[in-house]
Amino acid sequence: MRALVTGGRGGIGAAICTLLDDPLVLDLPDFDVGDPDAWRSLEGEFDAAFLNAGTVTGRSDAADLTDEEWQRILRANLDGVVYGTRELAARLMPGGGSIVATASLAGLTSTAFDVAYTATKHAVVGWVRAAAPALAARGIRLNALCPGFVDTPLVELELRGRLDVPLMEPSFVAEAALRVLEDPESGRAWVVQPNRVEPYRFPGVPGPR
């Protein structure tokens, strides 16, 4: 299996890399996932990809969010998934394959600790669900990984002194990511909680009266 991993030098990404055989690791400062030209520069063929790069702002009050913070988190959390999916589908997965995009439980529910993080992770889940059907025609599966709180530097930065829930080890989430990679279905959002890995069941949207 030839795989690439964004954000592969720390946290969940590094844990995923330990489970793979010689993956291509894409991370700052060498590779900016939010730069479309960086993605266009990639060559080769892949049959697995983990679009895992992400960051936080630590802003719970939207009034305090700066332009720079918003652009930074948008590029890391959403643009990297969009550009990565596009280039994989268009050029880098000619034989088909499987893509796992790291979202978060914050992409399935409200997480008031960081409003921008929540917004971008909801967008990742929406992208996965909407893009999956067309990718299926190319033989590519696309699913979202939605972990709860993981013992990583990002969580420490975001929730220092405010969190009173058990933290998952990155290795547990990495194993879940490989399970999602092999999922024969596409367009699903997988919840990853302590001792629990399962696809989320989205409620139906009410129709007209």
Dihedrals φ, ψ of 89, to 5°? -70, -40
For residue 72, give the H/E element and its range: helix 67-74
pLDDT digits (tens, 9 = 90+) for 136-195: 999 999 999 999 988 776 655 555 555 567 789 999 999 999 999 999 999 999 999 998
Domain assignment present for 205: no
Domain assignment present for 209: no
pLDDT at 97 over 80: yes
C-alpha angle 133-98-79 in degrees, rounded to nearest 5: 75
pLDDT digits (tens, 9 = 90+) for 65-86: 999 999 999 999 999 999 999 9
Domain assignment present for 102: yes
pLDDT digits (tens, 9 = 90+) for 193-204: 998 999 999 998
Catalytic, 117? Answer yes
Domain assignment present for 121: yes
Which residues, at least 6 apart from 88, have a Cβ–Cβ distance to it below 8 Å?
46, 49, 97, 99, 140
Domain assignment present for 14: yes
Looking at the structure of the chain, the number of domains it has is 1
Domain assignment present for 109: yes
- CATH code of the domain covering residue 37: 3.40.50.720
Domain span at 33: 3-198
Domain assignment present for 142: yes
Point out the catalytic residue in the list 46, 83, 117, 127.
117
Domain assignment present for 206: no
Cα separations in angstroms, 32 against 25, 38, 153: 12, 7, 19
